[in-house]
Amino acid sequence: MKHSTFKITALLLFVFAMSSHQQIARAQFKPANEEKINALVKKMTLEEKVRMLHGNSSFTSAGVPRLGIPELVMSDGPHGVRTEHGRGWSEVKNVNDSGTYLPVGIALAATWNLALGYEYGKVLGSEAKYRGKDVILGPGINIMRSPLNGRNFEYQSEDPYLISRFNVGYIKGVQSQGTSACVKHWLANNEEVDRNTVDVQMSDRALREIYLPGFKAAVLEANVNTIMGAYNKFRGQFCTHNEYLNNILKKEWGFKGMMISDWGAVHSTTDALLYGTDLEMGTDLVLKSNSVSQTMVDGKPIAQTVYDRFYLADAALQMVKAGKIPVAVIDDKVKRILRVMFNSSVFSKSSPGEYASDAHIATAKKVARESIVLLKNQDNILPLNTARIKSIAVIGANANRENSMGGGSSQVRAKYEITPLQGLKNIAPGITIHYAPGYTIQRNATPTKAMITEAVEAAGKADIAIVVGGWTHGYDYTKWDDNAYDAEAVDKPDMKMPFGQDELIKAVINANPNTIVVLVGGGPIDMTQWIDDTKGIISAWYGGMEGGNALAEVIFGMVNPSGKLPVSFPKVLEDVPAHKFGDFPGKNGVAVYRDDIFVGYRYYDTYNVAPQFEFGFGMSYTDFTYKNLSASKATNGLVTATFTITNTGKVAGAEVAQLYVHKENTAITRANKELKGFQKVFLQPGESKTISLPLTREAFQYYDEQKGAWATEKGVYTLQVGGSSRKIYLTKTISL
Ligand code: BGC
């Protein structure tokens, strides 16, 4: 492709502008290293530089051995260090890669406990170190725009504020161990169907208010070392080399770290050089050949490996040599990679890290315990009373299923995994447990009469029936392409329970009115067929290696549930705005986000659509009361909301107090309320705590598309404090 002088001058100005802008923006990387980096770059040949810009195996990129620059080693992420792949794409056998399998991203967010975000990141960073990985490919933070997105389980929320707060901790935790985090997928990778081609179109306002904040916090607050460019397009250009997005990331925010392409997401040498890709990975997956071929370089035939055929390999080298691209462009990318290396412990490889240690497993368990959300508890059926209950029927194939190896690139070989059935057996000695699978997890499975009959008989004989159902990552986890439901590269076909579970649950409830349904999975599922008839409902997500124990502890009351939904659970798929407008997964290769800023509760609450369970909802075995909300305003614009929470029940518990901002008589289109603060508070029976939540000026702002800037609407705002987006207990108005 030809390039005008104008384009190249503009590019040089851009590279220059980035460096001057970076001085104004927050200094993310230790300035002391810049001299060392410049000195190294000066010593490098062009060939050595270009070799650093692309993969040289499935998860590594080249260093420059003669200058002591090692390879950079990467691994998925985001809820454990991935099974070992060595330099190829098959699993390496006979290697100890059995590590800590943490609860997945949506479970972490359901804890609403920011301290756990940091602890979780620390575990990942430390285990990556132990396994010799420099970069862990997480966190995944894409907005949950539709319940159907196959990767929602890896992500965290529909709300940009909740995502932002969690990721600052997660990233800092990872990076505290000398490992680099990689926040992904930049940007608007909100569906898996057509992920390689779909062109996402959205307003600037939706971009700024909903889809960017998580990334912005990662860059400006957490100083994330690396970011991953997504597969999809944004406004016509692939995200991994997208001029508009790159300007925001590197110019406006002054990001000095490295943009890694998603695996196989680069499509053009010129665009990758000009619009942001610093390291190209996974193109071998697209080239689908590891053969060595011949090409002409500088008029000479040379043997080319698959890695030389990457877009940022020989083709880039030739463009620079031909004077079509300035060396400064290559230098900028190399410096970014070196900066990441210096900013973590790539050179020193000093900290050994720990692997599947007791401390790490304890973190996995703590997150699992706090992630479980109690959704329904009619007649206080939970916690189970061990004095009265002598037999339990545990029903559902999900009760007896290990999930760590499912889902795609996030798969983890767990040191062990406690299933719900095992967890219940572990802590219910003396109680007879009868297990019936009820359904089969397999392609096109329909309920079999015999399995339902077996489940109904078990339920009829037991004091309590616990159906463990919901989603699954796929059918056969030993096969990569057997993904379905909660998995990479697939979206769910609908929101209905698969494998005939509705029929099963109804039959079980009919046989035993004391039925509790436990839902496993990465988000909402349609419960309309049985919700009114079941007494208890629990969302247990994919709870990691200790998930089964944590679930059993909640069921028996050793742990008081304290998770809250990080995503709205709509009643039916048709209620979801992206689906109501018919914009998911898009048409003719384009996904227009007409839902705009109205994602999740922003839509349900503004347009009065009742969800099944609202954003922020979750029950406890104790009760909390909220009192005395006051709001103070400082001259610098900071507003502080202060209130008191009391545990008025009989057991210790934790409440997630949430603060939403509502604009009275707004002159612009805006959501009825937006989450702008929260805190998880642990309280003994009778104990009270006073909570102060600060609100900065940003908490009241919206993005003014006309001005291309954030703006504050003058007038009256109501601060709403409560236990969910719809359980608002206290309000206070303030004028701005
Ligand atoms: C996924 C990324 C992952 C990468 C490397 C891609 O298919 O989208 O999330 O990090 O593979 O495994």
Three-class DSSP category at 222: coil
CA of residue 571 to ligand 1 center, whole Å: 31
136 Cβ inside 6 Å of ligand 1: no
Give, for ligand 1, the residue of 192, 263, 284 to mutate: max count of ligand atoms closer than 8 Å to Cβ.
263
Confidence of residue 484 (pLDDT cuts 50, 70, 90): very high
Confidence of residue 330 (pLDDT cuts 50, 70, 90): very high
CA of residue 263 to ligand 1 center, whole Å: 6
What global pTM score does this model have? Answer: 0.95
184 Cβ inside 6 Å of ligand 1: yes
SS (H, E, C) 381-397: CCCCCCCCCCEEEEECH
The pLDDT of 191-218, averaged and rounded, is: 97
Mean predicted lDDT score pLDDT of the chain: 94
Taking only the tens place, the pLDDT of each residue in 260-269 is 999 999 999 9
Confidence of residue 5 (pLDDT cuts 50, 70, 90): very low
Confidence of residue 12 (pLDDT cuts 50, 70, 90): very low
**In this structure, which residue's CA is closest to atom 8 in ligand 1?**
262
**In this structure, which residue's CA is closest to atom 7 in ligand 1?**
263
Taking only the tens place, the pLDDT of each residue in 172-189 is 999 999 999 999 999 999
192 Cβ inside 6 Å of ligand 1: no
Confidence of residue 455 (pLDDT cuts 50, 70, 90): very high
| In the predicted structure, residue 371 carries a pLDDT above the cut 80 | yes
Q: Residue 10 has what pLDDT?
A: 47
What is d(CA 96, CA 301) in angstroms, rounded to the nearest whole number?
43
**In this structure, which residue's CA is closest to atom 11 in ligand 1?**
263
Taking only the tens place, the pLDDT of each residue in 533-567 is 999 999 999 999 999 999 999 999 999 999 999 99
**In this structure, which residue's CA is closest to atom 3 in ligand 1?**
409
Q: Residue 540 has what pLDDT?
A: 98
CA of residue 217 to ligand 1 center, whole Å: 22
Are the C-beta atoms of residues 650 and 700 closer than 8 Å to each other?
A: no
What is d(CA 672, CA 658) in angstroms, rounded to the nearest whole number?
15
The pLDDT of 626-645, averaged and rounded, is: 93
Give, for ligand 1, the residue of 81, 90, 262 to mutate: max count of ligand atoms closer than 8 Å to Cβ.
262
Residue 231 CA: which ligand 1 atom is closest? 8
Are the C-beta atoms of residues 110 and 160 closer than 8 Å to each other?
A: no
The pLDDT of 373-396, averaged and rounded, is: 96
Q: Residue 304 has what pLDDT?
A: 81
Q: Residue 303 has what pLDDT?
A: 75
The residue with tokens 């460019």 is 229
CA of residue 47 to ligand 1 center, whole Å: 27
Range with the poorest average pLDDT among 22-26, 74-78, 570-574: 22-26
Residue 285 CA: which ligand 1 atom is closest? 7
Q: What is the bridge-based pairing of β-strands 391-395 and 432-436?
A: parallel
What is d(CA 401, CA 422) in angstroms, rounded to the nearest whole number?
10
Count CB-CB contacts under 10 A for residue 630: 12
Three-class DSSP category at 209: helix
- Please spell the DSSP secondary structure of 76-111, one letter per residue: --SSSPPPP-TTSSSPPSSS---B--PPPHHHHHHH
Q: What are the residue ranges of helices labelled H in 413-564?
A: 420-427, 449-461, 501-511, 547-556
Half-sphere exposure at residue 148, Cβ-oriented, CA atoms within 13 angstroms: 21
Residue 409 CA: which ligand 1 atom is closest? 12
Taking only the tens place, the pLDDT of each residue in 579-608 is 999 999 999 999 999 999 999 999 999 999
Express as a percent the part of the chain with pLDDT over 90: 87
Q: Residue 407 has what pLDDT?
A: 95
- Calculate helix-pair angle for 213-220, 160-175, nearest 10 degrees: 30
CA of residue 190 to ligand 1 center, whole Å: 14
156 Cβ inside 6 Å of ligand 1: no
Confidence of residue 432 (pLDDT cuts 50, 70, 90): very high
| In the predicted structure, residue 299 carries a pLDDT above the cut 90 | no
What is d(CA 418, CA 409) in angstroms, rounded to the nearest whole number?
21
Count CB-CB contacts under 10 A for residue 72: 27
| In the predicted structure, residue 14 carries a pLDDT above the cut 80 | no
Q: Residue 295 has what pLDDT?
A: 72
59 Cβ inside 6 Å of ligand 1: no
262 Cβ inside 6 Å of ligand 1: yes
137 Cβ inside 6 Å of ligand 1: yes
| In the predicted structure, residue 6 carries a pLDDT above the cut 60 | no
What is d(CA 161, CA 213) in angstroms, rounded to the nearest whole number?
7
CA of residue 475 to ligand 1 center, whole Å: 20
655 Cβ inside 6 Å of ligand 1: no
Give, for ligand 1, the residue of 58, 409, 410 to mutate: max count of ligand atoms closer than 8 Å to Cβ.
409
Are the C-beta atoms of residues 573 and 492 closer than 8 Å to each other?
A: no
Q: How far is CA 474 from CA 106, 164, 406, 479, 540, in A?
A: 18, 30, 7, 9, 17
151 Cβ inside 6 Å of ligand 1: no
Confidence of residue 410 (pLDDT cuts 50, 70, 90): very high
CA of residue 488 to ligand 1 center, whole Å: 9
Residue 137 CA: which ligand 1 atom is closest? 10
**In this structure, which residue's CA is closest to atom 4 in ligand 1?**
263
261 Cβ inside 6 Å of ligand 1: no
Confidence of residue 297 (pLDDT cuts 50, 70, 90): low
The pLDDT of 31-41, averaged and rounded, is: 92
Q: Residue 351 has what pLDDT?
A: 66
CA of residue 228 to ligand 1 center, whole Å: 9
**In this structure, which residue's CA is closest to atom 6 in ligand 1?**
263
**Shortest CA distance to 489 belongs to which of 194, 263, 144?**
194
Q: What is the dihedral of CA 148, 472, 508, 524, to 10 degrees?
A: -30
Residues 698-707: contacts with CB under 8 Å, at least 24 apart: 699/639, 699/661, 700/661, 700/663, 700/736, 702/205, 702/209, 702/668, 702/670, 703/204, 703/205, 703/208, 703/209, 705/203, 705/204, 705/205
Tell me the two tokens of residue 310.
Answer: 């990457």
**What is the DSSP-derived secondary structure letter of residue 184?**
E
Taking only the tens place, the pLDDT of each residue in 273-285 is 999 999 999 999 9
Taking only the tens place, the pLDDT of each residue in 110-166 is 999 999 999 999 999 999 999 999 999 999 999 999 999 999 999 999 999 999 999
CA of residue 262 to ligand 1 center, whole Å: 6
Residue 74 CA: which ligand 1 atom is closest? 5
Residue 82 CA: which ligand 1 atom is closest? 12
Give, for ligand 1, the residue of 75, 89, 137 to mutate: max count of ligand atoms closer than 8 Å to Cβ.
137
What is d(CA 424, CA 555) in angstroms, rounded to the nearest whole number?
9
CA of residue 75 to ligand 1 center, whole Å: 9
| In the predicted structure, residue 420 carries a pLDDT above the cut 50 | yes
101 Cβ inside 6 Å of ligand 1: no
CA of residue 409 to ligand 1 center, whole Å: 6
**Shortest CA distance to 658 belongs to which of 717, 618, 702?**
618
**In this structure, which residue's CA is closest to atom 12 in ligand 1?**
409
263 Cβ inside 6 Å of ligand 1: yes
Tell me the two tokens of residue 269.
Answer: 């040498």
What is d(CA 415, CA 691) in angstroms, rounded to the nearest whole number?
39
Are the C-beta atoms of residues 135 and 182 closer than 8 Å to each other?
A: yes
Instruction: Indicate which residues carry an active-site annotation.
Output: 262
Confidence of residue 350 (pLDDT cuts 50, 70, 90): low
Tell me the two tokens of residue 239.
Answer: 């995200």
- Please spell the DSSP secondary structure of 223-279, one letter per residue: --SEEEE-SSEETTEEGGG-HHHHIIIIIIS---SEEEEPTT----HHHHHHSS-SB
